[in-house]
Structure 1
């Protein structure tokens, strides 16, 4: 097999001396994975919102458990596409573990609030913040964050372009981080690498399936009694603007044909929980198998770096989108959640105002960044970095303490 993970792929932004002789023998990509696992930003994900607040229920996912599940799906899909004798499973898994590091407290609601605050200094985007954390903010190598390899960083780049360079609002780099971004993408074509595509699809799978599972277990969703018109409205608003009633009807028919789709409402019993877990497993297997088959049919492997692409069949994309719309309607956009959104945004806006006036209240590492900033825009970006690093409980506690 051609080595797609050559010296350039293994290169780090800052050259590192050889490891100690008695250190465990690991590849550069295994070291990358270990660095992400041990990062402070990874630990903080345990107290950041996935669907609902991490303190709301013992069963529902937080950003850390979601990331672990995305990593498992990404690793398995990578092995299915290329076999075990490649570095790709380590790279895809690390990208999956890191993919949500840039998310602020309060989930996508917090992301929107920070984007409002940073509108005139380049905005805020969770994916761009992830790159900033990996290459600058995490404490490992001075000036280089975790100092990951080029191939691993590139696999983390779901949107390898800046603000306004592509249709839509998502982007993957702030102007301040263009230097390391240019190094990461040197000689790269105008597309995401295969490893990033694997991570992106694994995120979609875990997000869609597990959010529905959480909603069922919490009593918010009953798959035996769904309002298809309401699901269609959310599907059009958020995921598939051209969707119609027929698409939803046909998609539901396919999903209900999955052998473990429930025929009775969830009760919380062990048997009922078993049915739910088996449905989750079957849906993940269904989606990954469909992508593996479609990818194999499109081009011959190996599928690595910029050779080949991950192919998601239309039917699979529709099923994933419908599941997302179910979770959106019954969990994320309920009146209760929308009311909580207002409170969360108020907390972040208030903290932003307070820290701009009292920068010494920030954590030492961010206050050091503030003092070293060259201009007002850079100082405001430091405050955004501090706010984005906070967990949900920490944001609430800081607000309570600093607003007295």
Structure 2
């Protein structure tokens, strides 16, 4: 047995049997790979806005890197690599323009109708908004992935307010498919494939964002390592954002332990040899973190094939500290940089205005694919959710363009 049964391969909407040499899970991966929402990630903010630097990651390149890390780790544990790959490729589909800044703006706007969360929006895209399959009554079934792949893509398998005050994985009007995909799953527990996806996301995010920060000139490694005021600022922010129960001394000790590694890069001058050394550092860190998690999980559950709910991913305490420290470096020198505060404020204001402008001009101002949703929405809350679906689908650039077009149309109408 491969660890997956008939229920794991079931799809929410029935589909005719296809003659194909591909497995059900290979078809899932292909559906996500060809999805419009995956292509749009190329123009969505990861940490730095796309177009501001030719080197830095966007959400698409980040997702591809997460898939590479997750696929290899999942395969080493015994998971079907295509299930993990699908979850990793899909994990950021629901993120709106401007990254977490845009997510916060939409969450505030929708607070009275259940809020906005990128992971809940991902489920909505996979099961409703993407165009691929339909139910017999004509309702969209999104990409109609298998139960195993949908469950693996569900980072937070609970409703808002039940486990975490802000992180959740499903809106109330998507509970039907959520209940279906969670059939047989322990309440609020993530399957192993989802845990691998989440860990791969953390690993790729922390390592590659530090690489981008160094190449972009925002992070000079020697400053945080040698300047006392910088060390203190970094340690306090890292504890506040990522390691709340960790003493500052332990955070700094972890940073110093990473620095003592033979592959750590203390300086970067932009030359090819320097970039190669930095690339080696990122590769060594990813290998280190993945190997530690694989070894720890097999130490607990043995060396057999591990899938679904047969095991939980075991990540050593030291590895979690090191990942948190690298996240803290990116947060300190990129996400909280003072010169970005004004940009963040402008982006939030633009998202808020876009929602207001579309409210005034709906349904004509909506894209055709969302007009049917508006026409079938039963109340104002559902109509607001449709508007947010459109805004969340935008890239950074298309958000600016749509805002400009709608503002221009409004001005023309008043003249």
TM-score interval w.r.t. the shorter chain?
Answer: over 0.9
**Maintained 8 Å contact 1:224/1:262:** no
What TM-score, normalized by structure 1, do the two folds share?
0.96
Q: Identify the residue that residue 328 of structure 1 maps to in structure 2.
A: 331
What is the DSSP-based 3-state SS (H/G/I as helix, E as strand, rest coil) of the residue aligned with 1:6? coil
What TM-score, normalized by structure 2, do the two folds share?
0.94
State how far apart, in whole Å, the 2-side matches of 1:266 and 1:33 are: 37
**Maintained 8 Å contact 2:3/2:306:** no
- 1:5-404 superposed matches below 5 A: 5-19=4-18, 21=19, 24-82=20-78, 88-142=80-134, 143-190=140-187, 191-226=189-224, 227-263=230-266, 265-300=267-302, 301-359=304-362, 360-404=364-408
State how far apart, in whole Å, the 2-side matches of 1:207 and 1:280 are: 11
State how far apart, in whole Å, the 2-side matches of 1:318 and 1:184 are: 33
Aligned pair count reads 395
State how far apart, in whole Å, the 2-side matches of 1:162 and 1:45 are: 25
Query: Unpaired segments of 5 or more residues in structure 1?
Result: none
User: Which is worse superposed, 288-297 or 40-49?
Assistant: 288-297
State how far apart, in whole Å, the 1-side matches of 2:90 and 2:23 are: 18
Could you tell me how far 1:3 is from its partner in structure 2? 3.8
**Maintained 8 Å contact 2:97/2:394:** yes
Could you tell me how far 1:403 is from its partner in structure 2? 1.1
Query: Unpaired segments of 5 or more residues in structure 2?
Result: 135-139, 225-229, 409-415
Could you tell me how far 1:225 is from its partner in structure 2? 2.1
State how far apart, in whole Å, the 2-side matches of 1:245 and 1:179 are: 45
What is the DSSP-based 3-state SS (H/G/I as helix, E as strand, rest coil) of the residue aligned with 1:224? helix
**Maintained 8 Å contact 2:235/2:252:** no
State how far apart, in whole Å, the 2-side matches of 1:262 and 1:160 are: 38
State how far apart, in whole Å, the 2-side matches of 1:169 and 1:262 are: 36
Q: Deviations over 1:204-258 (max 9, x none)?
A: 0000000000000001111122121111121122111123232122201221122
**Maintained 8 Å contact 2:3/2:305:** no
State how far apart, in whole Å, the 2-side matches of 1:249 and 1:232 are: 6
What is the DSSP-based 3-state SS (H/G/I as helix, E as strand, rest coil) of the residue aligned with 2:125? helix
Q: Deviations over 1:244-282 (max 9, x none)?
A: 23212220122112211014x211100010010000000
Q: Deviations over 1:303-327 (max 9, x none)?
A: 2100011001111001000111110
Q: Which runs of 4+ in 1 moved over 3 A?
A: none
State how far apart, in whole Å, the 1-side matches of 2:321 and 2:43 are: 31
What is the RMSD computed on CA atoms of the aligned residues? 1.0
State how far apart, in whole Å, the 2-side matches of 1:303 and 1:253 are: 35
Q: Deviations over 1:38-61 (max 9, x none)?
A: 000000000000011001100000
Q: Identify the residue that residue 413 of structure 2 maps to in structure 1.
A: none
Could you tell me how far 1:361 is from its partner in structure 2? 1.0
**Maintained 8 Å contact 1:228/1:248:** no
State how far apart, in whole Å, the 1-side matches of 2:48 and 2:219 are: 14
What is the DSSP-based 3-state SS (H/G/I as helix, E as strand, rest coil) of the residue aligned with 2:222? coil
